[in-house]
C-alpha cells in the first residue's frame, strides 16, 4: 500500500509539473508563435474592446443568429493587444462587414510588421 501511495504521489506531481509547463509555454510562447482570438460575445481579456466610446458603440448580440458585434460610428477607433513578450511580426485576420465602406485601414504602434488578411 505504501508503494502505491508513493507512485501515486509521483504521478500526481508529474501531472502538475506538466500542466504548469504547458501553461507557462502557452502564456510566454517560447516557440515564438502566439495566437490570440477576440470574441465579441465574451468579456475582453488580452485584446480590448473597440474604443473610444462615442465612435465605437457597446457590444451587441444578434438574437436570431447569436452573432456578437460592435458597431463603429466614427473614426478612428482603437483596440489594444497585451502580449507577454515582444514579437517581430504579426498576422492579423479581420472580419469586417459593411458593404457601403469597403476600405479598412489598420494601424499599429511600435516596431512591428503586420500582414493583414480581410
Write the pLDDT tens digit of every residue in 38-77.
888 888 778 888 888 888 888 889 899 988 888 888 888 8
Task: Give the count of alpha carbons within 13 A of 118, CB side only.
Answer: 8
Share of the chain above pLDDT 70, in %: 91
Q: Residue 109's pLDDT is what?
A: 66
Give me the torsion for CA of 73, 118, 36, 48, rounded to 10°. -10
Q: Give 90's pLDDT tier (boundaries 50, 70, 90).
A: confident
Q: Would you tell me how many other CB atoms lie within 10 Å of the CB of residue 56?
A: 20
Among 18-32, 53-67, 95-109, the minimum mean pLDDT is found in 95-109
Q: Residue 18's pLDDT is what?
A: 93
If you compute the radius of gyration of the chain from its CA atoms, what whole number of angstroms results? Answer: 21
Per-residue cell: 40 = 465579441
- Decide if 57 contacts 71 (C-beta within 8 A): yes
Amino acid at each position: 500500500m505504501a508503494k502505491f501511495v508513493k507512485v501515486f504521489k509521483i504521478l500526481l506531481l508529474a501531472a502538475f509539473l506538466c500542466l504548469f509547463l504547458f501553461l507557462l509555454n502557452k502564456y510566454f510562447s517560447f516557440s515564438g508563435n502566439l495566437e490570440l482570438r477576440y470574441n465579441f460575445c465574451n468579456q475582453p481579456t488580452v485584446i480590448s474592446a473597440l474604443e473610444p466610446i462615442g465612435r465605437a458603440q457597446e457590444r451587441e448580440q444578434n438574437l436570431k443568429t447569436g452573432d456578437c458585434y460592435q458597431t463603429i460610428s466614427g473614426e478612428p477607433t482603437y483596440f489594444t493587444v497585451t502580449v507577454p513578450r515582444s514579437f517581430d511580426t504579426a498576422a492579423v485576420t479581420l472580419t469586417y462587414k459593411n458593404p457601403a465602406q469597403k476600405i479598412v485601414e489598420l494601424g499599429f504602434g511600435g516596431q512591428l510588421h503586420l500582414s493583414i488578411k480581410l
